Chains A and B, each alone.
Chain A
Amino acid sequence: MSDDAQRTDRLDGNAVAGALGAAYGIDVTLAVVRCVSCGHTDVVARTRVHLSPMGAVVRCAACDAVLVVVVERPDGTLVSSPGASWVRG
C-alpha cells in the first residue's frame, strides 16, 4: 500500500504557486492571505498545503482551517477560497 499522504502533509504554499499564479496572477512568496476563522494573516508561501490527487487544499498555519482549494479539471483550474477573507497579490 502507498502511504504518500504522510509525505505530502508537510508541504507549504509554494506547492500551489503554479496554480495560484495562473488563476489569480499572484506570486505566492509575496501574496498575503487572511484566515476567516482565526484572523491570522500570512504570506501564502507559509500556509500548509495538502496535495491530494483530487486537488490541493491550502490550510491556515495557525488554526488549520481550509483557506483555498485548487482543483484541476479538464475544463480548467478551479480555485475557491471560502476560508480566506482576502488574498492580496
Chain B
Amino acid sequence: MGVVTRGFGGRRPDPDRELPPGQFLTQDFPVLSAGPTPNVDEAHWQLEIHAETGEVHRWSWEQFLALPAQDVTTDIHCVTHWTKLGTTWRGVSLDTLFEDVETSADFVMAHSYGGYTTNLPLQDLLDGQAWVAFEFEGEPLDPVHGGPARLLVPHLYFWKSAKWLHGLVMQDDDEPGFWERNGYHLYGDPWLEQRYS
C-alpha cells in the first residue's frame, strides 16, 4: 500500500471535489521552468543535504535508488491556476533522507541543477509531506518534468517542488529562492491563495 495524500487511493479523482481558490482542472501537465532543461547524467548525479554545521550527506544515483521508496497519489496545484488531480509518483520520503541529519535550522533552500532555487520551512518537508520523486505515472521522470529526480511537496504551489533537484541546504532564516525574490510568495499555500508576495 503506497502513501496516498488527500485520501483516495486507486479510485478516479472526483471532478466535483473542491479545488483551492482560483484554480481550474487540467488533464494536461503543463511545463513550468525558469530556464532550459539541464541534461543531468545519472552517472554524475548526486543528492546532497548540507547541514548548517558544514556536515554534508550525499547519495549517488545507485545509493538513492537503494533507499526505501513510496508510491504517492496526490493533487498538484500550480500558481498559474491549473490543478491536476490524482497524479501518481514514486519517490523517497524526506523523512528517510533526513534520518541521520542533525540540524537546528528551521529552513531549507532547495538547489537544482541549472541554478534554480526555492525556499521551504523544514517542517513542511517532514512527517510524510514531501518526497524526492524519480517516477511519474509509472515511468522514469522525464527531464522536462524534472528528471532524473525532483522535489515533490504537493501541499504547496508546484514551483516549490523543485525540478532537477541537486541539494537541500539548511538555513537559519527563510531566505527567498528564485521566484520568491521576484514577486512570488515566500510560502505559497494554495488553499490560502498565497501566489504573490
A interface residues, Cβ below 8 angstroms from B: 1-6, 9, 50, 52-55, 57, 59, 64, 66, 69, 71, 73-75, 78, 80, 82
The residue that A2 contacts in the complex, of B29, B36, B115, B179, with Cβ under 8 A, is B29
Contacts of A74 in B (CB 8 A): 196
Q: 15 interchain pairs (CB within 8 A)?
A: A1-B28, A1-B29, A1-B145, A3-B31, A4-B31, A5-B32, A50-B36, A53-B30, A54-B34, A57-B34, A57-B35, A69-B182, A74-B196, A78-B182, A82-B181
Closest-by-CB residue of B relative to A78 is B183
Q: Does B159 contact A (CB under 8 A)?
A: yes
Q: How many residues of B contact A (CB 8 A)?
A: 24
Q: 1/0 contact trace for B171-191 toward A, CB 8 Å?
A: 000000001011110000000
Could you tell me if A54 and B28 are in contact, using CB atoms closer than 8 angstroms?
Answer: no
A62 nearest CB across to chain B (Å): 15
The residue that A50 contacts in the complex, of B34, B78, B159, with Cβ under 8 A, is B34
Q: 1/0 contact trace for B140-169 toward A, CB 8 Å?
A: 001011000000000000010000000000
Provided the pairs A5-B144, A73-B196 are in contact, do residues A52 and B32 lie with their beta carbons within 8 angstroms?
yes
Q: Does B79 contact A (CB under 8 A)?
A: yes
Q: 1/0 contact trace for B4-46 toward A, CB 8 Å?
A: 0000000000000000000000001111111111000000000
The residue that A54 contacts in the complex, of B36, B80, B115, B142, with Cβ under 8 A, is B80
The docked-state distance in angstroms from the alpha carbon of A80 to that of B142 is 31
Contacts of B196 in A (CB 8 A): 73-75
